[in-house]
Structure 1
Amino acid sequence: MFNNWKKTLMAGVISLSLLGTGYVSHDLISSQNVSAELAAKNAPGHLKKVESSQLDEIIKRGYIRVGMTGDYKPFTYLNPETNEYEGFDVDAAKELGKDLGVEVEFVATTWPTMMKDLQADKFDIAVGGVTRNTARQKSAYVSQGYLSFGKVPLIRKEDKDTYLTIEDINKPSVRIGVNPGGTNEEFVRQYLSDANVTVVENNLDIPHLVAEGTYDVMITDTVEAMLYAKADSRLYAAQTDKPFTNSEKGYMIPRGDFIYASYLEMWMDEMELQGKFDALYKKWME
């Protein structure tokens, strides 16, 4: 299409040149001028129609509403002592607000209700360790990835040679604690259906319940597993070098808004290019 546009525009230029020499008729001039005008309208970057965008609404209102669960370290954690959110994606959201020139308003959501809350316009963007997948892309727009990870078992250190494979874990005698509504539960339901599974409402409760022996395994992401194993010497993050799955974290916004999505993608590119994602990784994950 780009080459056709160039050819049409060149034809318009040639017709104008012929006009200067007197070797072209009025009909040819009219035809080529119309072609050149059409080519200009179809040129790359030409603004055909101005659409309203949520991006404009955010800037106009002066703040962006950021939905997060607050229960998924190191991406998002609602500190009960300060009643403030903290974590990798909390800092990233503040960078997004700064780039937009607006304030950041954090909105509480849960993994089971996150998609419905986004579609109900309770917030402008969902962040906090959101996994990119095609199921979410059917109902929202999920951005490019900013961090790779996989599902692994968080277990007691004394069991580090016991629960290494799906076959080791997928047994009725193995007790699994999992938080509801997210990709952790999806993985458990799909691959560990023979195990003894308990849904624990608060994701933050599961690691210490594993350490204390209430459960044998917590299925979670490599980053979270390593974080809890580092914080509690009783725990062990298994298979972090060879996770059961390979995925990426991204950000989620309402679908159908090209302007807003384009801005988000460029902002993420700039975060990567300027080393800001690397700085956040060192701060929260190393």
Structure 2
Amino acid sequence: MIKRRDLAGLVGLGATAAAVGALSTSASAQTAHETTWERIMRTKKLRTGGVTTGAPWTMKDVATGEWNGHFYHIAKTMAEDMDVELEVVETQWGNAIMDLQANKIDIMFGMNLTPTRALAVDFTDTVYDSALVVIARHGFEPVTWEDMNNPDCRIAVDVGTAHDHIVSRLCPNATISRLRSLDEASMTLRSGRADVQCLFWMGALRAVKRDEQMGHVVVPQPQFGATSNACVRREQDKTFRDYANAWISYSRNMGLIRSLVIESLEAVDLTTADIPEGISL
């Protein structure tokens, strides 16, 4: 497996950032119409959103204040290749688009592309594909999405996320509890107030690994999922979005994205052997 340290010099787009840095002159950088790229080049900081309890995607150590997770390391590697510092701004998955629009962050990884969201921000190319699963309470064995599409099935999701949107479409007749965060949705399942929690497979595997009493991972059929992308602010100048697209495409083709994802799974005691059958990384 290719490790991040082996690829650190391979991505090597810092020279590109330096070359294009001429776009950010000292005069234009200070104007009210400063673009995202100009602001990053002027301040030498790339701001990304981080969800403190979003392991294995992003997570923050409360004792040390250090961030981890593959979206953190992806953003950090991008910043290094731009020759700038990464600054993490705490957010929630459901608030990230508003934070982009409010100019609190420059890029948010881990966002699933939906037509509605695409009206508000620009999406990058796909970082990776992700399958949607459920954690079902012990004793409940749904096989298909239709098995959960009835009022007797109680589904917990974190509000405003892709989990919420997809469940609302696939199981409109279920009793859906929309909670403020992923952790609150998990607590609703643990407490017996829900029969399943819907989320993407990485989060589901980690949750069950930490607490086997919570339930078991089910891949409902037919299999559905979404692309995991990054979002950037909508603006006329597309320099930053185009750079992000080039960087993501290059890093994915070189195996860096996959390497960082696998490392993040290992950090929460998961291996590729834990991935359910039918789900590819």
Shorter-chain TM band: 0.7 to 0.9
Deviations 1:161-201 (CA, angstroms, capped at 9, x unpaired): x2222221122222221111111111232232322222222
Alignment of 1:235-250 (within 5 A): 235-239=215-219, 242=221, 244-250=223-229
Three-state SS of the structure 2 residue aligned to 1:92 is helix
Map of 2:137 onto structure 1: 156
Q: Which runs of 5+ in 2 are unaligned?
A: 1-22, 25-33, 266-270, 272-281
Structure 1 residue 133 and structure 2 residue 114: aligned? yes
What does residue 56 of structure 1 align with? 38
Letter in 2 for 1:55: W
1:117 to 2:96 alignment: no
| Matching residue's letter, 2:121 | A
Indicate the residue corresponding to 2:196 in structure 1.
Answer: 217
Would the aligned equivalents of 1:111 and 1:180 in 2 still touch at CA under 8 Å?
Answer: no
User: Which residue matches 1:284?
Assistant: 264
Higher relative contact order (CA 8 A, sep 6+): 2
Q: Distance in 2 between matches of 1:188 and 1:85?
A: 30
1:69-108 equivalences under 5 Å are 69-108=51-90
What is the RMSD computed on CA atoms of the aligned residues?
2.2
Query: Are residues 1:186 and 2:165 paired?
Result: yes
Picking from 205, 211, 222, the partner of 1:226 is 205
Q: Cα distance, 1:157 vs. partner?
A: 4.0
Asked whether 1:206 is paired with 2:185, we answer yes
CA shift at 1:123, angstroms? 0.9
Aligned twin of 2:239: 259
Any idea what SS the aligned residue of 1:214 has?
A: coil
Hey, what's the Cα distance between the residues in 2 that align with 1:200 and 1:78?
Answer: 21
Matches within 5 A, 1:25-36: none
Please report how far the alpha carbon of residue 61 of structure 1 lies from its aligned counterpart in structure 2 after TM superposition. 0.6
**Is 2:45 aligned against 1:66?**
no
The answer to whether the Cα contact below 8 Å between 1:271 and 1:277 also exists between their aligned partners in 2 is: yes
**One-letter amino acid of the structure 2 residue matched with residue 251 of structure 1:** A
Counterpart of 1:168, as a letter, is D
CA distance in 2, matches of 1:176, 1:111: 19
Consecutive unaligned residues of structure 1, counting only runs of 5 or more, are: 1-49
Per the TM alignment, residue 248 of structure 1 is displaced from its structure 2 partner at its CA by 0.8
Q: Distance in 2 between matches of 1:284 and 1:243?
A: 28
Write the letter of the residue equivalent to 2:163: N
State, as a whole percentage, how many aligned pairs show the same letter: 22
- Which piece of structure 1 moves more, 150-159 or 205-214? 205-214
CA distance in structure 2 between the partners assigned to 1:216 and 1:104 by the alignment: 40
Q: Which TM-score applies when normalising by structure 2?
A: 0.75
Distance verdict in 2 for CA 1:118–1:173, change over 3 Å: same
Whether contact under 8 Å (1:222, 1:243) holds in the other structure is no
Residues 170 and 80 of structure 1, relative CA distance in 2, 3 Å threshold? farther
Amino acid at match of 1:145: T
Looking at structure 1, the residues matched to 197 and 62 of structure 2 have their Cα atoms a distance apart, in angstroms, of 23
The residue type paired with residue 168 of structure 2 is R
When Rg is computed on C-alpha atoms for both structures, the one with the higher figure is 1
User: Contact (CA 8 Å) 2:145, 2:222: kept in 1 or not?
Assistant: no
Q: What secondary structure sits across from 1:181 in the alignment?
A: coil
Residue identity matched to 1:104: L
Instruction: Describe the SS at the equivalent of 2:212.
Output: coil
Take 1:186 and 1:140, find their aligned partners in 2: how far apart are those partners?
17
Return the match for 2:153 from 174, 178, 193.
174
The answer as to whether partners of 2:56 and 2:70 remain within 8 angstroms in 1 is yes
CA distance in 2, matches of 1:236, 1:259: 44
CA–CA distance in 2 between the matches of 1:59 and 1:222? 36
Separation in structure 2 between the aligned mates of residue 137 and residue 269 of structure 1, nearest angstrom: 20
> Hey, what's the Cα distance between the residues in 1 that align with 2:114 and 2:72?
22
Deviation of 1:208 (Å): 4.7
- Give, in angstroms, the shift of residue 142 of structure 1: 0.6
Displacement after TM superposition at 1:238 (Å)? 0.6
Alpha-carbon distance in structure 1 between the residues aligned to 2:36 and 2:203? 32
* 1:53-76 superposed Cα distances (whole Å, 9 cap, x missing partner): 422320221111112333332111
CA shift, 1:226, in A, is: 2.2
Equivalent residue letter for 1:132: L
